[in-house]
Amino acid sequence: MGSSEFVFRPGSIEGGDFRFDVGTAGSTTLVLQALMPLLPFASRQITLEVRGGTDVKWSPPVDYVKLVMLPLLAKLGVNISMEVVTRGHFPKGGGVVRVSSAPSGSLKHFVGLKGGRTSSIVGVSHAVKLPSHIAQRQASAAVRQIEEKGLLRPEIEIESPDNGSYLSPGSGIVLAAKLENSSIVGGDCLGERGMPSEEVGRLAAMRIIEEIESGCFLDRHMGDMIIPYLAIAEGVSDVSVSQITPHTLTNINVAETIAGIQFDPVGDLGKQGKLRVSGLGLRKTLTGASPTEPRLSEGS
């Protein structure tokens, strides 16, 4: 507090087993956001256990990470599997997420300018420490809204487990649409006190419908979360995004400052846009460095 300067000298990225406990309902997925770009460059396999909130405001729901983010990052060479052991909601948290990653040593570039037609829609509707019918009502409302738009009927998993192991009540729904051009877009809504279950499901459906109808390759949330990966990948990445958000612009600014790369103009705030960048080509090598230390590929 009060300092005017921050110095960071990165060292080697070691593999192994790590545990992080937020201690509250603070977001487990935001912790993972900070850690995941390191994992491809580790010396060996990494396993992470993160405790806190899995479905909380102002952060990606854990099912979005599992259904949308991880499958898309796999296309760049990020090899991560995730297990949701226990869900955590505000205010007590108590959720547990386990992640395992095998290092790839480098990331591939990513190109996708059109979303294409929908090939399937899946989802997860959950309710813990609440009546089990809440999860079903959320799902039913989402299905109705999506079918009214003439889209494929979603296959939604209902999750309403034994309430004994959960610290706080909560509910939510995440939907993921697989598109014919190998993209995935998402839509979600978190349950709130006083919000009918039907409205939770309807809002999630409306959000994914908007993403599908944009015709873009990435939804607005993935459009900002993918930026660090594009910045350090090899080659030129070029993807369309359904909406340029303040998070998009912030992440680009940070990536450009730290990595020394330059994104092309992305478009207007609140509008559709594109992410185009020649990545840094970060690569874990054995030449002139310890086996665990990432180095730039030759010519970067």
Average pLDDT, the chain: 92
Strand pairing class (236-241; 111-112): parallel
75-111 residue pLDDT tens:
999 999 999 999 999 999 999 999 999 999 999 999 9
The two three-digit tokens of residue 69, written as one number:
């983010």
Nearest one of 250, 204, 203, 199 to 224, comparing CA atoms: 250
Q: Give pLDDT, residue 8.
A: 83
Q: Give pLDDT, residue 291.
A: 39
Q: Give pLDDT, residue 274.
A: 97
Please name every residue paired with 243 in a beta bridge, in sequence order, or none if there are none.
Answer: none
Three-class secondary structure of residue 194 per DSSP: coil
Three-class secondary structure of residue 183 per DSSP: coil
Q: What is the pTM for the complete model shown? A: 0.91
Q: Give pLDDT, residue 285.
A: 59
For the chain, residues with pLDDT lower than 70 are 285-300
Residue with tokens 């770009």: 37
CA distance 178 to 157: 16
126 catalytic, yes or no?
A: no
Q: Give pLDDT, residue 296.
A: 40
- The residue from 89, 109, 133, 247 that is catalytic is 247
Task: Give me the amino acid identity at 219.
Answer: D
Q: Give pLDDT, residue 176.
A: 98
Residue with tokens 């039907």: 198
